[in-house]
Amino acid sequence: MTPPQHRPTGAHGRNSPGGADPGGQDPYGPRPLDRGSPLPLWAQLLADLRRRMESGAFTEEFPAEHRLTSEYEVSRHTVREALRKLRADGLVIAERGRASRLDTRRIQQPLGSLYSLFRELEAQGVEQRSEVLRLERTADAVVAGHLGLVPDAPLVVLERLRLADGEPLAHDTAYLPAEVAEPLLDADFGHTSLYGELARRCGVKVSGGRERIAPFLPDIRQAWLLGLADREAAFAIERLGRAGERPVEWRETVVRGDRFAFVAEWSDASQAVALAPRAAAPSA
């Protein structure tokens, strides 16, 4: 796998953009804080650091406290308040004896769109693979009800432990009607997506669905699989995937809260389309 490419590091240890933007400002550099603003300096600093991070700065390393105090001409207390918030939000990792760095382990999932965790990890240069825990025919009256089937309808179940760079990310169990998903029993899901195999082997394309996301305390087995401490919270995701109007997938996923974030974008135009956000339908 080709390693992710980094921009060359320019002055002050940040990524060089190869020139300033048309407005004459370096998108990776600091911008002056407004001492006359009612917004505290630490909050202004936090906002500007977030801006620089979103522009692609700090990929090699995150600046030390003393450098930030010099760049922004603020006290160390102001810098520490901003850094404390970045660490609390999981955006920066600080470890004793090592320079602070961005937390690139956190995977972001957009809401309101068809989403492929497999493709997203690959695009970020993260090694994605799965440990298949179960791939077999089964029956489950509750799941059959979700899929609009009779209680004893045969199903195909795929249970996986999803790994990102070798570390557990999610425990994922998907159920599909056996009448359409039987060919999946011959697939190797160690390094491929369910939706990709479903389209290739079964001629079924998941085109939409709905998803419910909630905080969750994993059971003993799930916590052990995901490497979570006792009583450490995670996200529980229930997803109904559809091919056209037909339900073809019921999925139950437990995702590590410290490695996953859900992101929503909106605009004035979107409010005219719907009053409530639709849930994402990640593939996988």
- pLDDT means over runs of 10, the chain (284 residues): 36 38 62 92 90 76 86 92 78 59 56 56 70 97 96 97 86 96 96 91 92 89 89 88 95 84 60 44 47
Which residues are CB-neighbours of 181 under 8 A, at least 6 positions away?
Answer: 155, 156, 198, 202, 204, 248
Which residues are CB-neighbours of 163 under 8 A, at least 6 positions away?
Answer: 127, 128, 129, 130, 131, 169
107-283: CATH architecture: 3-Layer(aba) Sandwich (3.40)
pLDDT of residue 21: 44
pLDDT of residue 12: 38
Query: Residue 39 corresponds to which amino acid?
Result: L
pLDDT of residue 75: 93
Instruction: Tell me the β-bridge partners of 251.
Output: 174, 239
pTM: 0.59
pLDDT of residue 186: 96
Domain ranges of the chain: 11-102, 107-283
Q: Is the CATH number of domain 11-102 1.25.40.10?
A: no
pLDDT of residue 54: 74
